[in-house]
Amino acid sequence: MTNPWKAIYPACQPRLPSALWQRLTEETDDPSRFPARLRAATEAGIPPFLADLAVLEWARHAAREAAAVVAPVRSLALNPTLQLVESGWQGLAALTGRDSASPAPQPGGERLLVWWAPNDGMVRCRPATDEDLLVLKLVVEGIDPQAAAAEGGVPVGAVDQALRRAVARGLLLAPPSRLRRDESMFPLAGVGEEFLVAEVFTLQWHITQACDLHCKHCYDRSSRPPVSLAQGLKILDDLRDFCLVRQVLGQVSFSGGNPLLHPDFFALYRAATERGCNTAILGNPASRHEIERLVAIQPPVFFQVSLEGLPAHNDFIRGAGHFERVLAFLDLLKEFGIYTMVMLTLTRDNLGQVLPLAELLRGKVDLFTFNRLAMVGEGAQLLSVRPEEYRDFLADYLAAATQNSSLGLKDNLFNLLRHQEGLPLFGGCTGYGCGAAFNFLSVLSDGETHACRKFPSPIGNLHEERLATLYDAAAASRYRAGSQACRGCAIRPVCGGCLAVAYGFGLEVTAQRDPYCFLPPGG
């Protein structure tokens, strides 16, 4: 009969002579007492660290057995399978892995964490770090992160990020995101559950109207004062509170105008990082010095710039010399290791330039994609792509994307084509189809808040009301629900068309569907 103890103590068993292993296990009636039996043993051939290794292996077994008790939580909590093992030897954790060439343990105290990780179902074991012990203390003793940050002299975002890292490793359990689609309006008929729940909430923050360009399709050239530093800090505190309650990671995408022209840009950028937010830039080419300052605070998750076609057309839209400045700037961003994105606004005039431009950008940009023109503001003076031509363009783009990894999919209507062809669906414009007032909001420099920046979709003013109030209000819910015409569509959670495009065509965005949709009614 196979000795069942081998499954519990797989690292100990080969380190004992077979006869001794057989006798010791037969003499011990309870597997949990095997470490104590080893500690008391006087027989020759037992490595001095073996009793501690057995304690560690029993802890791994106990964690595996306790996995069944892991259940959803309503607030941040310890993983119930987590154990802290005190060892008199260093290097024991390596012996529990698959590397038979691990060096022999050395005398010296070490604290080891053992737990079952819910994200992958594996039992983990590693030496506890100071950060591990800190976050465990915070949760066990119910210490507020603000208080811990003040005592440690660090920004509260540093504590928030440490807690998130512990959740990602499985040491802590966090409640699920509370940003969830209403399934009565977003049926799961043709998509997966992951497209209903957002893990990140983005504030697209237009901190200034100041801009060093005057593009011919600009959505808004209105005169608005830049956000003040005091107002900005208040918004960032509000964003942190919102994200903590909704159990999501906050991201601030700084925009404008050109956000770097704001006199307090770097102070606002630093403040966002100090509150634990991811940061991104939607702007224009910047200087080396500005990028150095940016990276010294926190590298952005991406820096997005725009091109509107091949050089002549782009410079007609955005100004002489702009195309070459962008190409040089992309090289600068790559030098700093920053993820680069180029966005194009698709019009009738540049439709035929998109794929040639993508070839020029091959290897120069991490992601190139486009938004369809929203005929809003000065963009109303340009011509939209003819709807009857759009399906063929999407097909050509998808084919090109198989050969050019820089070509990204953003427009929701790619999913129409993929659905018709039986291809896997993707998340659409924001990862959740149209994410207006769902996983992002746009805030203008005077606090005016919109469901989407590309068309007038006001839901209130963030200088006057809390973010949670605006998010939960009827106006935001109206945009979040999207068009009633899309309700019966099988791929609604990853599509919903583009509300801004529909608005530009004079349609009622909550009742009529995107004029470019080529699926029959009901999907």
Q: Tokens 């309700």 — which residue?
A: 487
CA distance 236 to 245: 14
Q: Give 461's strand partners.
A: 448
For 2-14, what is the mean pLDDT?
85
Model pTM score: 0.92
pLDDT at 221: 64
101-129, pLDDT tens digit by residue?
678 899 999 999 999 999 999 999 999 99
In the 8-state DSSP scheme, what is residue 106?
A: E
For 80-87, what is the mean pLDDT?
97
Asked whether 127 and 161 are in contact (CB, 8 A), the reply is no
Residue partners of 249: CB distance under 8 A and separation at least 6: 164, 199, 200, 201, 243, 277, 278
Pair type for strands 83-90 and 458-461: unpaired
445-468, pLDDT tens digit by residue?
999 999 999 999 999 999 999 999
pLDDT at 378: 73
CA distance 512 to 485: 6
Which residue type is seen at 280?
Answer: A
pLDDT at 1: 41
Cis peptide before 257 (omega within 30 of 0): yes
CA distance 491 to 360: 33
**What is the pLDDT of the chain when averaged over all its residues?**
93
pLDDT at 218: 63
* CA atoms within 13 Å, Cβ hemisphere of 516: 32
CA-CA-CA-CA torsion sign (38, 39, 42, 44): positive
Instruction: Give the length of the chain.
Output: 523
Closest by CA position to 172, among listed 108, 247, 65, 80: 80
Among 95-99, 108-112, 296-300, 410-414, the least confident range:
95-99
CA distance 134 to 143: 10
Q: What SS3 state is found at 442?
A: strand
pLDDT at 101: 66
pLDDT at 393: 98
320-344, pLDDT tens digit by residue?
999 999 999 999 999 999 999 999 9
C-alpha pair distances (Å), 400 with each of 212, 224, 348, 371, 373? 33, 41, 20, 17, 21
CA dihedral 484, 489, 494, 497 (to 10 degrees): -50
Helix, strand, coil shares, percent, the chain, to 5: 40, 15, 45
Please, which pLDDT band fits residue 191 given cuts at 50, 70 and 90?
confident
Closest by CA position to 78, among listed 132, 131, 155, 147: 132
pLDDT for 2 beyond 60: no
pLDDT more than 90, % of the chain? 84
pLDDT at 184: 83
Neighbours of 203 (CB within 10 A): 24
pLDDT for 303 beyond 50: yes
pLDDT for 476 beyond 70: yes
Closest by CA position to 82, among listed 123, 23, 53, 32: 123
DSSP string covering 355-418: HHHHHHHTTT-SEEEEEEPP--GGGGGSPPPPHHHHHHHHHHHHHHHTT-TTBPP--TTHHHHH
* CA atoms within 13 Å, Cβ hemisphere of 274: 15
For residue 216, give both structure tokens: 């011919």
For residue 208, give both structure tokens: 């200034």
CA distance 397 to 416: 14
pLDDT for 97 beyond 90: no
Asked whether 278 and 200 are in contact (CB, 8 A), the reply is yes
Q: Tokens 């606002």 — which residue?
A: 268
Beta strands (DSSP E) in 68-118 are 77-78, 83-90, 106-117
Q: What SS3 state is found at 380?
A: helix
End-to-end CA distance of the chain: 60
* CA atoms within 13 Å, Cβ hemisphere of 276: 27
241-300, pLDDT tens digit by residue?
999 999 999 999 999 889 999 999 999 999 999 999 999 999 999 999 999 999 999 999
